[in-house]
Amino acid sequence: MNSVSPSGVQYVGRGGVGVVAQDDPLQGEESQRALQPPGGDPGGGSSFGNQQPPDGGRLKETTTAGEPDEVDKLKAKLMSAWNNVKYGWAVKSKTTFNKTSPVIVMGNSYPLSCEDEVELFRQAFVSRLWLTYRREFPQLEGSMWTTDCGWGCMLRSGQMLLAQGLLMHLLPQDWSWPEAQELADVDFEALRPRSPSRAGGVPIPSFGYSSSPRIPTTPQRASASAGRGQRNRPESCKDRQSDLIHRRLVAWFGDVPLAPFGVHKLVELGRSSGKKAGDWYGPSVVAHILQRAVSQTSEVQNIAVYVAQDCTVYKGDVVHLCSVSGLEASGPGWKSVIILVPVRLGGEALNTAYIKCVKNILDLKCCIGIMGGKPKHSLFFIGCQDEQLLYLDPHYCQAVVDVTQDNFPLESFHCSSPRKMPFSRMDPSCTIGFYAKTKEDFEFLCRDVSKALSSTIEKYPIFTFVEGKSQDYGLVGHSSAHLQSDPSPSPTQILPLGRLSNSNDRSSSDEFVFL
C-alpha cells in the first residue's frame, strides 16, 4: 500500500531527490491534444502546471513585434474549431444510483428508497452551478483564444468550487433553484452494497410527479421537505430576492472581461505565476488565483479566501485574515471565509487508505466540494455514493451567454445529468474547499474536519489544523498573500517545533519533515 504522506509528498528535495511535488497538476484531458506551448521555466525549475503539451501543438502568442502573426491566427482558429466540435456534443449514457444506499450531496444525505428524497436530491444536484467550456467569447488579452476548450477545465472546476462557496455565503441554507430541470439519463435500482453488478432492481417511478405537491410519507420527512424547499410554491419576496442574487452570482462567472471570476480575469491573474491563456492549470495554482480574485473584487462583500500552506491550516492566520479593522473576531468585524486546501493523496496514484477520509469530508456540511478529477481530466466533486464520487464535468463546450443582458438564460449554467466515477480513478492531486460564515462556524469546522481526518487507517493525515500563525513555525510569507511572481517557487519547509530558533542554519540537504 502506498504510504506517502499528503503532507510530505509536496516537498521537492533540493538535491534532485525524486519526491512528488504537490503542485503537479492534473494534466487536463487535453494532454493528448497538444494545444499550447511547453512554457517551461527558463531556469530549469518546475512551474505550478509543469506538464506541458508537446511542441508540435505550440500556439505562439506573439511575434517579436508583439502581435500574433497570420500563421498563429490560422492555428488558433483551427484549434478552436476542432475543440469546439470535439467538446460540443456528449455521449448519452445512464448513471445508475443504488436505491439501498444514501447519496451525499454537499453534506446532505438523501436515501433514494424514498420518493420524496429523490426529489430533494434532484433539487440539490441541479441547483449547483455548472460552469463548462465556452466558445466565441471576447478574445483573451495577449492571445488569439476565444474559447477555453481543451485547456481551461481546471479553471472551470475552480469556478464551480468558488461558486458553491458564494452560494452558501449569499443565499439561504435551504435555497434551491425553482426552475431546476428534471434529472436526465439516470436509473435508480436496488443494488448490492459496494457491488458494481446489478441485482435486478426495479426503477422507481419517474420524476413526472413533481408538478403536483409532494406528500411526505412520514412526519419526519414532512419537516425535512419543508425545510429544504418545494417546487411550485407561491413566489414570495424572499424568493424574488434569492432569484436576483442567483442571477447576479452567475453573471460574476460570465465569460466577459469585466466579470470578477470569469475566465478572462482568472487567466489575467494567472500571469503572476507564469501562466497564460492555453496553458494547463493545476488545482493548487487555481486555488491561489481564486484567492486573489476574491481579494481584488468589490462585487462580493464580507468574505475572504484562505489557501492552506503546506497542507496545514494555521488558525491564527485565518483569524487574522477574517478580523476586520482590528475588531474582535467574535464581534461584528468577522469576515466569512472560504478555506482552500491543496493536497496530494498519494504518489503517482491515489492512496486507497484516504478514500474513507474523503468520504467523511464530503459528508460535512461545511465542505463546498473538491476541485480535482481523474488523470488527464479535471472534474468538480460534490458528493458520493458507496464507492463512487458524484461530480460535475466541465468538458462540454457551450455557446457563450451574454450575462450583461437583462434576464439572460440560466439553463446552461445548471446540469441535469448526474455522473459518477469510482474513487479508485481519482487523481491524487486536488484542492478541498470549506466555508465558514461566522467565527463560531470556523471553530466547528476545525473540530468536525479534524475528526473526519482522524478516521483513517493511514497514519499521515491529509492535512492538519494548528494553533497560531505560520510565522510561529518558521515559515516565511502567508498562504493568503498575493501569488508569487516566481513561476517556480521553492516549496516551504516545515520545521520541527524544537528547532524554530535556528531555522536559518538548516542544511540545504534537508528535503522535508513530516508533520
Which residues have a catalytic role annotated?
Answer: 153, 393, 395
| Nearest to 257, CA basis, from 275, 274, 272, 277 | 277
d(CA 210, CA 192): 28
Query: Is 113 strand, coil or helix?
Result: coil
d(CA 23, CA 458): 22
d(CA 256, CA 242): 23
d(CA 236, CA 424): 45
Query: Is 8 strand, coil or helix?
Result: coil
Query: Is 378 strand, coil or helix?
Result: strand
Beta bridge partners of 350: 346
Q: How far apart are the first and last CA of the chain?
A: 20
DSSP letters, 279-325, are ----HHHHHHHHHHHHHH-SSS-SEEEEE-BTTEEEHHHHHHHHB-T
- The CB-based long-range contact list for 220-226 (8 Å cut-off, 24+ gap) reads 221/114, 221/116, 221/117, 224/120, 225/116, 225/120
Angle, helix 263-270 to helix 283-296, in steps of 10 degrees: 110
Query: Is 199 strand, coil or helix?
Result: coil
DSSP letters, 461-479, are -S-EEESS-GGGGT--S-T
Query: Is 439 strand, coil or helix?
Result: helix
Handedness of CA 106, 111, 117, 123 (dihedral sign): positive
Cβ-contact 356, 456 below 8 angstroms: yes
Cβ-contact 103, 164 below 8 angstroms: no
Residue 181 dihedral angles phi and psi, to the nearest 5°: -75, 165
Q: Which three cell numbers stand for residue 257?
A: 472581461
| Nearest to 417, CA basis, from 175, 214, 187, 179 | 187
Q: Report strand pairing: 336-344 vs 312-314.
A: unpaired
Query: Is 345 strand, coil or helix?
Result: coil
- Residue listed under C-alpha cell 494553533: 467
Buried b (16+ CB within 10 A) or exposed e, 102-123: bbbbbbbebbbebbbbbbbbbb
